[in-house]
Structure 1
Amino acid sequence: KTFSSSYSEAQQTVQTIHNAKKKAEELEQTIVVYEELESYGIDADKGLYMTLLKAYQKQKTEKVNNLQNLIFVYVKNWFVEKAIAAKLANEQRETFNELPTVSTENWLE
């Protein structure tokens, strides 16, 4: 399914998605490699599709002054709440797994 009615609108939406990703990365002080998201359990294509769908549906049911601004906010939030959160959780898991094993045996008994 296509959302944009023209090639230039599609280009603008892609640029908005890139800008939203960059802003989310700045806010969370991390870099997300889109192709790695699957390894964190995130279906990025589906996630972005559903996020864009929400923006376009909102435009159909409510007055939206600037669709690109709405897309920016929705996509930025998706990156922060889903993609970056999954990446950071994965990094914490890896760090936790690298910690040395501590014996819990009671040596006083």
Structure 2
Amino acid sequence: MPGGGFVKLPNGSVVVALVLPRPGGAGGPVRVLVHAANRARALTRLRNLGLRAVYLRGNSHPPTPDEVTAVLHHPDGLLWRGAPQDAEELWHPIRALLRGA
């Protein structure tokens, strides 16, 4: 399962993309996008939501420009959708993922 990556934005903040197992084990993995001030804070935001085993190792699968746009336009700055990505599936707020756990 690919790990993820990050993109540093011109204002200094970052967008981190990770592929994680779906909470509760039902279904396949999910791709999660997080917008934060830096990589450490992005991972802390996920850990604070209960996703404890979250690590970013390397930058092999950074977010695409479309993913960056999606997370920047979301008020929470946290989105997810199934992985591998289905072009038909829309991005969901993180609450929808955690509700099913």
TM norm. shorter chain > 0.5: no
**Structure with greater strand percent:** 2
**Structure with greater helix percent:** 1
Please report the TM-score for the alignment, with normalisation by the length of structure 2: 0.28
Q: Which has the larger radius of gyration?
A: 1
Please report the TM-score for the alignment, with normalisation by the length of structure 1: 0.27
